[in-house]
Amino acid sequence: MTVDTPVANVGRHLTGNTGTPQTGRGPNNVGGMNQELVLNNGVTMPALGFGVFQSPPEETSAAVETALKVGYRHIDTAAAYGNERQVGEGLRRSGVDRDDVFIETKVWVSDYGYDETLHAFEKATRKLGVDTLDLLILHQPAVDRFDRTVAAYQALETLLADGRVRAIGVSNFMRHHLTDLLARTSVVPAVNQIELHPYFAQPDVQKTDAEHGILTQAWSPIGGITFYPGYGDHRRSVLEDETIAAIAAGHHKSPAQVMLRWQLQHDRSAIPKSTNPGRIAENFDVFDFTLTDTEMAGIDALDTGVRSGPDPDVARPAFFDRVIPED
């Protein structure tokens, strides 16, 4: 096994963010600062990014343009979202320099395999209209075809070595998926993007990530998966949680802002999605207040251990086989 030496290298610092509004309302937002995280290969990434899952293509470019004008400098998309092209359009329309934006996208399962994943990189960059990616991750562990998952990751290693991507990683990997992957590959993932909100915090995955120097990135960071349609009636919306509402009222903030603050104070990356300009701005306005240790512990205690999204250990062949178009 030639796993890179794990290092406790997920650091945090505040960095000026070109174009960020100068709200200057608190110690964590001096000069319009965003929080940046240092990945295990030294690359820095804005902790708070902007998600576009389920953003209709016709609304995505406007949402991305708004986000970049508000001050976000990190966009998370995926081949499977069908809106990489519109993410690229939004970037260009915003007038923000491409080099000032951290672009993250994901390879879909139907493109797993070594050559297929190299080709998936070409598809993604063509659609986004960029030459390189800041972070390219595997969308699922795909347990029914894990050999192809490993081959896909080896293609990411090649892209990294060739300078086509600045960092590589995974998504929805649990402890055993990471253990298997690390045993068969050379580069420790920089990021593991997982379902993570107050009702489902996955402490075991977070611990595994930390042990290997992998940054945990929260998807559904304000609990979208606990309320948007299509994932079952058993769910309770974390946006309506009373504990979070009380904390929010105390800070004159919204529940979404409190959850994002909770994510950031735990040194995680979070990538909230919205297509609504007011909510896009609201979700970025989280650098001017601080949750107390008691408030942090109160939110930590809300974890139910019950997943709202799909179980990464369940194969979904028809879904996995969905073809990602060339253009």
Ligand X SMILES: NC(=O)c1ccc[n+]([C@@H]2O[C@H](COP(=O)([O-])OP(=O)(O)OC[C@H]3O[C@@H](n4cnc5c(N)ncnc54)[C@H](OP(=O)(O)O)[C@@H]3O)[C@@H](O)[C@H]2O)c1
Interface ranges with ligand X (CB under 6 A): 51-53, 76, 139, 171-172, 193, 219-225, 228, 239, 254, 256, 271-276, 279, 282-283
Nearest distance in Å: CB 293, ligand X: 24
Closest CA to 59 of 250, 280, 219: 280
Nearest distance in Å: CB 272, ligand X: 4
**Beta carbon nearer to ligand X, 219 or 320:** 219
Nearest distance in Å: CB 276, ligand X: 4
Q: Catalytic residue, from 72, 81, 112, 153: name it.
A: 81
Nearest distance in Å: CB 111, ligand X: 15
Give me the amino acid identity at 40: N
Q: Do residues 43 and 167 touch, judged by C-beta distance below 8 A?
A: yes
**Beta carbon nearer to ligand X, 239 or 296:** 239
Q: Could you report how far apart the first and last alpha carbons of the chain are, in Å?
A: 38
**Beta carbon nearer to ligand X, 42 or 276:** 276
Q: What CA–CA distance (Å, rounded) separates 260 from 287?
A: 10
Q: Do residues 200 and 214 touch, judged by C-beta distance below 8 A?
A: no
**Beta carbon nearer to ligand X, 51 or 71:** 51
- The string of DSSP codes covering 282-298 is HHH--SS----HHHHHH
Give me the amino acid identity at 280: I
Q: What CA–CA distance (Å, rounded) separates 307 from 200?
A: 6
**Beta carbon nearer to ligand X, 11 or 21:** 21
Nearest distance in Å: CB 309, ligand X: 6
Q: Is 81 annotated in the active site? A: yes
Q: What CA–CA distance (Å, rounded) separates 68 from 91?
A: 7
SS3 of residue 26 by DSSP: coil
Q: What CA–CA distance (Å, rounded) separates 169 from 46?
A: 16
Instruction: Give me the active site residues, please.
Output: 81
